[in-house]
Chain A
């Protein structure tokens, strides 16, 4: 089992009580382990509630198994925790309902998200799953920036989206795989239509 330590950060002793300096252990679905400070965890509403409910002491953290996050792989979780450590202690933004959203991507975040699109989408998924509001905001902004000035065809390439035709073909294929008789019925119907009849009956 590989262990990846969270980045070492300076902690303001005066601002943070001694008992808060606790590092929790988390494990991704591919068995990679991470240590994350309690303050960084506060950026994630989901994890924050989870550790509060568990009520672990420092001994529990070391002696009990790492908390498993089964839906997220190690590569993605590393990015998530790096982001949380960098932004720990920052206020969690509140949605003011404005459209379009005004979000600036900080330099650190821009570097962190300088990754392939597939991993970026996974990061967004993780930020949503772990309820990390600001990470979700900046990552969505990053994806939105990718759309600027693109045609629909270019957007499909950027977002790796199927076209309507491909989408329909995929759905049809899935339907046929589920019910092989469907195709036969459709062909029979088309044949009858060609012959002038509108109904099977």
Chain B
């Protein structure tokens, strides 16, 4: 009987290229030769959406793999799924979810283009608690749950763009420690409750050191973030932060000082996201106007800024358009060295 092994290796690779990611991961488990073949070239998922709802979880790669694991009345069965999962219908969705998710993201060679991680609701605890009898303390149990969602190894999951909406900051923190900081190019996150998500980022030194991280968008920060930490992310070329209260003039000065450490700055926007819990502040200026100041040691390049009622906007030497957040290509400006002890310097 003729089997697939009669086909030359380069043809098998063509077959692999026709497979979707999940099938590729299954294919690599068939034999040693195929495992090597799939692993040799990086696996890549362009988009992966993982969404947690009240009683269901959805995985979707937008390329044909889409499964909704739904828990009805605590029965925990898979009720809605793509054609390939029809066979599994009615089976325990918790186990299936774990199997599918592990198959998708627990491969060291995998790179995810954009990971959308949306927590519309708390992660159903029954899904993610690790069977660890020693994890009696609440926090330990929380850690245990997360260890089952992602790679058990820290800093392994390669994601280029992360779009995350979490309910509480620790969820975001645990995501950060699973991601490989050297692969991340843009972060967009939102945290509903608790302290703001930026603080979690400030506590993740690997990310802050990553020069790949160029774009950062943070929404719904509950409290004004610690502006003194802003210099830690000033190497990002595009930063957009939504806070719950207006910045004072002192705070604006502090932001400006932090930005002078980044000669590659494109744009920073800090805007107020009003909510019932936001504390109204007196208006700072009626009319928006731009001001500018040169970088210390290099008067040819400047930072411009303006403060309107609900928005403080800063533009650096790399600013090149109206909507910088969507602009991928940046013109070549030689990278300049940041001044030392920037907080001690006085700027115009």
Contact = CB atoms under 8 A, between A and B. Distances in A.
Interface of A: 99-101, 103, 117-119, 121-122, 124-125, 128, 136-137, 140-141, 143-145, 147-152, 155-156, 159-164, 167
Contact of A163 (B23, B26, B31, B84): B31
Contacts of B20: 100, 148
Nearest to A124: B7
B84 A149 contact: yes
Nearest to B11: A128
Contact of A99 (B17, B30, B85): B17
Q: What is the interface of chain B mostly: helix, strand, loop, or mixed?
A: helix
Contacts of B18: 100-101, 103, 140-141, 143-145
A122 B11 contact: no
Task: Give the dominant DSSP class at A's interface.
Answer: helix
A198 B18 CA distance: 49
A124 B2 CA distance: 12
B137 interface: no
Nearest to A151: B26
Contact of A136 (B14, B29, B83): B14
21 contacts: A99-B17, A100-B17, A101-B14, A101-B17, A121-B2, A122-B2, A125-B6, A128-B10, A140-B15, A144-B15, A144-B23, A147-B26, A148-B20, A149-B85, A151-B26, A155-B29, A155-B30, A160-B2, A160-B4, A161-B5, A163-B31
Given A161-B30, A163-B31, A100 B7 contact: no
Given A140-B18, A143-B15, A152-B30, A125 B7 contact: yes
Contacts of B2: 117-119, 121-122, 160
B31 A140 contact: no
Interface of B: 1-8, 10-11, 14-20, 23, 26-27, 29-32, 44, 63, 83-85, 87
Given A100-B20, A128-B7, A150-B23, A164 B1 contact: no
Contact of A128 (B1, B3, B4, B8): B8
Q: Which among B4, B6, B85 has the highest number of chain A CB atoms within 10 Å?
A: B4
4 smallest beta-carbon distances between A and B, as pairs: A149-B84, A144-B18, A160-B3, A118-B2
A6 to B, nearest CB: 25
B4 A159 contact: yes
A150 B83 CA distance: 12
A121 B4 contact: yes
A141 B18 CA distance: 6
A73 to B, nearest CB: 11
Contacts of B8: 125, 128
A192 B63 CA distance: 56
Q: Which of B11, B18, B29 has the most C-beta atoms of chain A within 10 angstroms of its own C-beta?
A: B18
Contacts of A147: 19, 23, 26-27
A86 B281 CA distance: 76
Nearest to B19: A144
Contacts of A162: 31
A164 B28 CA distance: 12
A77 to B, nearest CB: 15
Contacts of B4: 121, 143, 159-161
A155 B32 contact: no
Interface centre among B3, B15, B23, B83 (most CB of A within 10 A): B15
A196 B348 CA distance: 81
